[in-house]
């Protein structure tokens, strides 16, 4: 009995060391994820880019905190330019002057064409998405760089922010 009592403290000590090691490793593994809330963005696929402007001021489009299940339609001057999914980015050019930007639902056919569309159709189909959503007029200066952040939440509240030459991360994030 006395020999078992002697082992008990060693077992307890080993459990403490093991617990401490597990806690340390879990903290170390999660540390890179805590450092940033921005996910890695991938380019928008070519089949969802409809805007082709070869000259003008450069614009970097980034999605930021998109939680909507619906894809986002971006209209430039009342023409569909991009269909954007969460975690995507694109680079394009805008001529100097005033432009009307609208974020809304992606245009979907009245009847779903495939399983992917069928999943989104109930909440994402709208009769005239080009007339809905968030609309804002912007001013583009010749030779100036711009950043366009687009966002949509689960309630499909669409928003964007258009930055002029935002170089520093603190100038860009967060914007809501």
pTM: 0.71
Domain ranges of the chain: 1-35, 42-170
- Using DSSP, state whether 15 is helix, strand or coil: helix
- Which residue is it, tokens 């069928």? 118
Average pLDDT of the segment spanning 44-71: 90
Rounded CA-CA distance 128/143 in Å is: 34
The enclosing H or E element of 26 equals helix 2-35
Predicted confidence at residue 55, as pLDDT, reads 92
**Tokens 């609309």 sit at which residue?**
135
Mean pLDDT highest for which of 10-14, 105-109, 161-165? 105-109
Query: In what order do the strands lie in the sheet containing 42-43?
Result: 42-43, 88-94, 57-63, 146-152, 158-164
Contact status, residue 136 vs residue 50, Cβ threshold 8 Å: no
pLDDT > 90? residue 141? yes
Q: Does domain 42-170 have CATH number 3.10.620?
A: no
CB burial of residue 121 (10 Å; 0-12, 13-18, 19+): middle
Average pLDDT over residues 106-121: 89
């Amino acid at each position: 009995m006395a020999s078992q009592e002697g082992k008990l403290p060693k077992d307890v000590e080993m459990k403490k060391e093991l617990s401490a090691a597990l806690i340390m490793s879990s903290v170390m593994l999660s540390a890179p994820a805590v450092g940033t809330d921005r996910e890695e963005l991938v380019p928008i696929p070519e089949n969802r880019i409809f805007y082709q402007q070869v000259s003008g001021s450069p614009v970097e489009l980034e999605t930021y905190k998109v939680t909507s299940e619906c894809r986002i339609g971006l209209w430039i001057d009342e023409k569909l330019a991009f269909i954007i999914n969460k975690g995507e980015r694109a680079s394009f050019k805008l001529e100097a002057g005033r432009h009307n930007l609208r974020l809304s639902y992606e245009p979907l056919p009245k009847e779903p064409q495939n399983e992917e569309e069928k999943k989104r159709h109930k909440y994402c189909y709208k009769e005239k998405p080009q007339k809905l959503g968030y609309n804002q007029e912007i001013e583009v200066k010749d030779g100036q760089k711009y950043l366009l952040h687009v966002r949509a939440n689960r309630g499909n509240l669409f928003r964007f922010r258009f930055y002029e030459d935002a170089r520093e991360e603190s100038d860009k994030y967060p914007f809501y």
